[in-house]
Amino acid sequence: MSDIAAPAPSPTMAPALSPALSVVVPVYLGAATVGELVAALRALEVDGGLEIVLVVDGSPDNSLDVCKELVALPGAPITLVSLSRNFGEHNAVMAGLARARGAFAITMDDDLQNPPAEVRRLFEHARDGGYDAVYTYYAEKKHAPWRNLGSRFTNWCADRLLDKPRGLYLSSFRCLSAFVRERIVASYEGPYPYVDGLVFQVTQNVGRLQVHHLPRNEGQSNYTLRRLIRLWLAMFLNFSVMPLRLATLFGLGFGALGAIAAAIVIVEAIVSDQPPQGWASLMVAVLVLAGVQLVVVGLIGEYLGRMFLVVNRKPQYLVREVFRRGGDGLDVERPRVDTRAAGQPHREPSGSES
């Protein structure tokens, strides 16, 4: 295993001979499935060539060791990116897209629920259709009912918050052109990436393709309810000011109700000999309004908190090592601190430092 001490070229700079397709796979607790996935991908015949980018996202099992063995095997070249800790699926996908070199990049999970045989069909659909992005959808999803319900809710929110075609299903099995890939990698350095939101900031030239979805054969889904909520918040707060506008509308609505109620109380006090009644309902109204105010304050606080973390440069991802097949085993790249190759955000060294 040879160790590359010098910094590698920026991952956004592709060599002269780039493959037609890069397949980006975030790996977390995937030691049992990633080998079969890579073997199936290497068996594909893709016009223009294929590369695989594996991103081990701080997996607590032996996924990294398994992936190192896969890198050394003959076949389509693999770039193995090892992150310093677990950052999350979308962060890992961003790290993989930064290392991809293909004219198109497909992102997919490591659990084999997306058949590798569909990769070539998805790539050809994007290439031949001239699309900037193609999203897959399923006739039937082989996930737990609660997760399917969560996905439908997320897509319903995305229809209203993101500038995307109405009804387009947002799947993690997607194909992006180099035009889109390069711009979303360069445009966002924050710690809360939402890949689909970034895609629709770049293009609306988007296609759809129905594919098969298989049941999970190994282990359980890595998406817990907590992770799904975090992903939903990334979409809900990072790519729209609609929540703040809704808070304003709530304030105006409750203010109008308060004005109407005040007018009713004044009229009742004038025309009746009895003092205004309904202190119980008044207390209920006060509690409801207090709850709404706390929700709005919390919403604003969430925006401010995320801005605080961005200003303090909370990392989107940090690369510990990058492995590639070399002449004498594995070549290891350890990127220089605060360069784009080392992670996001970064500060490129000045000319005097290079």
Give the model's confidence band at 224: pLDDT under 50 very low, under 70 low, under 90 confident, else very high: low
Q: What is the pLDDT of the chain when averaged over all its residues?
A: 84
For residue 253, is pLDDT > 50? yes
Per residue in 306-323, pLDDT tens?
888 788 888 999 999 999
Rounded to whole angstroms, how far apart are CA atoms 219 and 284? 48
209 lies in a domain? yes
Residue 350 lies in a domain: no
Tell me if 237 is assigned to some domain: no
Residues 117, 27 share a domain: yes
Q: Could you report the per-residue pLDDT of 81-115, keeping only the tens digit for each?
A: 999 999 999 999 999 999 999 999 999 999 999 99
| Residue 114: domain span | 2-224+315-344
Tell me: pLDDT of 222 over 70: no
Give residue-wise pLDDT tens across range 276-298.
Answer: 667 656 776 777 777 778 778 88
C-beta contacts of 256-265 below 8 A and 24+ residues apart: 258/289, 261/285
304 confidence band (pLDDT: 50, 70, 90): confident
Q: 198 or 311: which carries more pLDDT confidence?
A: 198
Cis ω on the peptide bond leading into residue 315 (within 30° of 0)?
Answer: no
Q: Could you tell me which residue, 273 or 54, shows the higher pLDDT? A: 54
**In a shared domain, residues 132 and 29:** yes
User: Beta strand 78-83 with 50-56: parallel, antiparallel or unpaired?
Assistant: parallel
Q: How many folded domains does the chain comprise?
A: 2
% of the chain at pLDDT higher than 70:
83
Q: Domain check: are 123 and 269 in the same one?
A: no
- Say yes or no: 220 and 264 in one domain: no
Residues 307, 333, single domain; the answer is: no
Beta strand pairing call for 21-27 and 2-4: unpaired
Hunting for tokens 């997306």 — which residue is that?
A: 114
d(CA 28, CA 32): 11
Q: Rounded to an integer, what distance in angstroms lies between the CA atom of residue 247 and that of residue 252?
A: 9
Residue 148 has pLDDT above 90, yes or no: no
Output the CA–CA distances (angstroms, integers) from residue 309 to 90, 192, 228, 292, in the order listed.
18, 10, 21, 26
Say yes or no: 27 and 128 in one domain.
yes
In a domain, 349, yes or no: no
Same domain, 176 and 299: no
Co-location of 132 and 208 in the same domain = yes
pLDDT greater than 70 at residue 189: yes
The Cα-based distances of 117 to 37, 131, 206, 212, 316 in angstroms read 10, 20, 22, 10, 31
Whether 340 maps to a domain, the answer reads yes
**Residue 193 confidence (pLDDT) above 80:** yes
Lowest mean pLDDT among 135-144, 208-217, 311-320: 135-144
Lowest-pLDDT range of 26-35, 214-223, 262-271, 341-350: 214-223
Quick one: 278 and 290 in the same domain?
yes
Residue 44 located in a structural domain: yes
Do residues 176 and 263 share a domain? no
110 or 5, which is more confident: 110
**One domain for residues 204 and 305:** no
Q: Per-residue pLDDT for 134 more than 60?
A: yes
User: pLDDT-based confidence at 66, cuts 50/70/90?
Assistant: very high
Q: Average pLDDT, stretch 224-229? A: 70
Rounded Cα distance, 208 and 186, in Å: 25
The answer to whether position 257 is within a domain reads: yes
Q: Domain containing 20 — which CATH number?
A: 3.90.550.10
Q: What's the confidence (pLDDT) of residue 8? A: 45
Query: Do 25 and 147 sit in the same domain of this protein?
Result: yes
Asked, for residue 351, whether it belongs to a domain, the answer is no
Residue closest to 354 by CA, chosen among 341, 342, 339: 339
List strand residue ranges (DSSP E) for 30-147, in order. 50-56, 78-83, 104-107, 133-138
